[in-house]
Amino acid sequence: MKKILPMPSSPARIPSARNVSKAGTPNLAEAGALAGGEVRDVAGMRAAARALHARGPQWVLVTGGHLAGPAVDVLFDGDTFTELEAERIGGPAGLRGLGGLHGTGCVLSAAITAHLARGASVPDAVAAAKDHVTGAIRHGLDFGAAGGCVDPAWNLQSPGGPSGRR
């Protein structure tokens, strides 16, 4: 995995998110790096969510899009774990088996934020955002050897019809 910013040498050196973040949305690699271990399955996602929650966010959503099988995400509020499952679209590596699908995490966090701004509870916002991202993946844009990206506007209507390819 290409690192954009250098990681601290130890998870203990990562600053607390207390009083800053309502929700954290790490993927498997990010959750592992932040929690100090590798995340390979739902049990590991739960352990990472618990460790990250202790750092301050009110909610943690560990996304499992790179696991084999259904796309399972784990939401944790400090007391209760909720698993959100959706069909896998394409292979674990990305859109229709390509080497990578870009934009899922950004679209997910933006959709969660939008639903929260409209007054949804965190669990409802996360569930709606996961549904939106599943559609955005299904209608993703294929760039051939360069990979692909999700279509965050897949369900918008325009004068010419839906923006996504259905």
Nearest alpha carbon to residue 65 among 86, 38, 35 = 86
Task: Write out pLDDT tens, residues 73-116.
Answer: 999 999 999 999 998 886 444 445 445 778 899 999 999 999 99
Distance CA 108, CA 114 (A): 10
Task: Write out pLDDT tens, residues 4-16.
Answer: 455 555 555 555 5
Greatest pairwise CA separation for the chain in angstroms? 52
What are the sequence ranges of the domains in the chain?
1-88, 94-166
- State if pTM tops 0.85: no
Nearest alpha carbon to residue 155 among 127, 135, 129, 131 = 135
